[in-house]
Amino acid sequence: MHCVKLLGQRLSARDFDYQVAEIQIRAAILSDFTALGIPRTVAIG
């Protein structure tokens, strides 16, 4: 939840459907950042 709050403390959308979409976008951004931080292990040889 802390990472979600780093993207903004409040939702800017007023309509519930738009709020749901905004949360889904934030979750997609966080998963992309997480994927960038995971190291790839490659066997050499």
Count of residues making up the chain: 45
Domain boundaries, the chain: 2-37
> What pLDDT is stored for residue 6 in this prediction?
66
- Given pLDDT bands bounded at 50, 70 and 90, which one contains residue 5? low
Please check whether residue 14 is in contact with residue 22, taking contact to mean a CB–CB distance below 8 angstroms: no
pLDDT in tens, 6-44: 667 777 788 899 888 888 888 888 888 888 888 888 898
DSSP-assigned states of every residue in the chain: -HHHHHT-SS----SHHHHHHHHHHHHHHHHHHHHHHSPPP----
pLDDT at 2 over 80: no
> What pLDDT is stored for residue 38 in this prediction?
84
